Amino acid sequence: MRLTRREFAIISAAGAALPQTAFAQRSAPLITRAIPKTGERLPAVGLGTAEVFDTDDTETRKKAAAVVRALIEHGGSLIDTASSYGDAEIVLGEVTAPTGLREKLFIATKLEASPDDVELNRSLERLKTPKLDLLQLHNVDDPDQSLSRFREWKQQGVCRYIGITSTYHRSFPALEAVLTREQPDFVQVDYSLDNREAEKRILPRAAEVKAAVLTALPFGRGRLFRAVHGKPVPPWAAAFAGSWAQFFLKYLLGDPRVTAVIPGTSDPAHMTDNLGAMRGALPDPDQRRRMEQFVAAL
């Protein structure tokens, strides 16, 4: 059974009484990370849009507008989408461009294999922006794939950064090869407390080539929430996590190679909770190992 985060929040006792230390974190400075190639600081928690804003209708636009406002109001800026995420680019364009919010955001999108100007212009039109902050080659699966076209677009000023992505472990060898040869500004992979395959090859290589790291699916497609259903956040984690979402996100941010986490949500309350992970203390190496052991024992 797939348990949504909303269902989890309703039926779980975990959020009944948050530690007081968690509330004290609200006034702590924002955690930002430097993009290695330039030193530009990026807020460490962003928003993913896969399976969240993929239908362009009134209700979806309303939810997207509320989530984007929550993102900005609580110090975030990064939104990650893709040309293949249904109508997500359209929805984002409609809720950001007319309201003037675009200038406050770091917009990242993705193009599929062998992209051309037609696909790029389609994304720009849908997002209602002449320029992207990050343009990524999506789902790399061939070690010989090139970023030459992306570099041309970057030189033309269409995007400020270029990157590559994959959430398929079978494609990690190809991703690693392209990362090594092309040395993009960013790499995006799936990474969560119960899915740490990226730690073995992708994160070390990203550090070597000075690529910023975005982590998709930080809640393990909902597996982590299902695993802790009915359980409170352990007392030993109270110093850094005021909720399960913050527990899971701060585990990732405890790795200094991670530039930003990008959980998806259509709920502004969840967006606000997620953004709480970029305030206050982060778990140290010993605490991260304890978090791994805790989840492994569930």
Task: Report the alpha-carbon distance of residue 93 to residue 79 in Å, rounded.
Answer: 12
- 3-class SS letters over the chain: CCCCHHHHHHHCCCCCCCCHHHHHHHHCCECEEECCCCCCEEECECEECCCCCCCCCHHHHHHHHHHHHHHHHCCCCEEECCCCCCCHHHHHHHHHCCCCHHHHCEEEEEECCCCCHHHHHHHHHHHCCCCEEEEEECCCCCCCCCCHHHHHHHHCCCEEEEEEEECCHHHHHHHHHHHHHHCCCEEEEECECCECHHHCCHHHHHHHHCCEEEEECCCHHHHHHHHCCCCCCCHHHCCCCCCHHHHHHHHHHCCCCCCEECCECCCHHHHHHHHHHHECCCCCHHHHHHHHHHHHCC
Instruction: Write down the mean pLDDT value for the chain.
Output: 92
Residue 227 has pLDDT above 70, yes or no: yes
Residue with tokens 């909303």: 6
Q: What is the mean pLDDT of residues 164-191?
A: 97
Count other Cβ atoms within 10 Å, centred on residue 48: 26
CATH homologous superfamily for 32-296? Answer: NADP-dependent oxidoreductase domain (3.20.20.100)
Q: What is the mean pLDDT of residues 66-93?
A: 97
Percentage, residues of the chain above pLDDT 90 = 88
278-293: per-residue pLDDT in tens? 999 999 999 999 999 9
pLDDT-derived band at 20, boundaries 50, 70, 90: very low
Q: What is the pLDDT of residue 92?
A: 97
pLDDT-derived band at 28, boundaries 50, 70, 90: confident
Residue 1 has pLDDT above 60, yes or no: no
C-alpha closest to that of 81 among 124, 142, 33: 124
Q: What is the pLDDT of residue 132?
A: 98
Q: What is the mean pLDDT of residues 203-223?
A: 97
Task: Report the alpha-carbon distance of residue 238 to residue 111 in Å, rounded.
Answer: 40
Residue 268 has pLDDT above 70, yes or no: yes
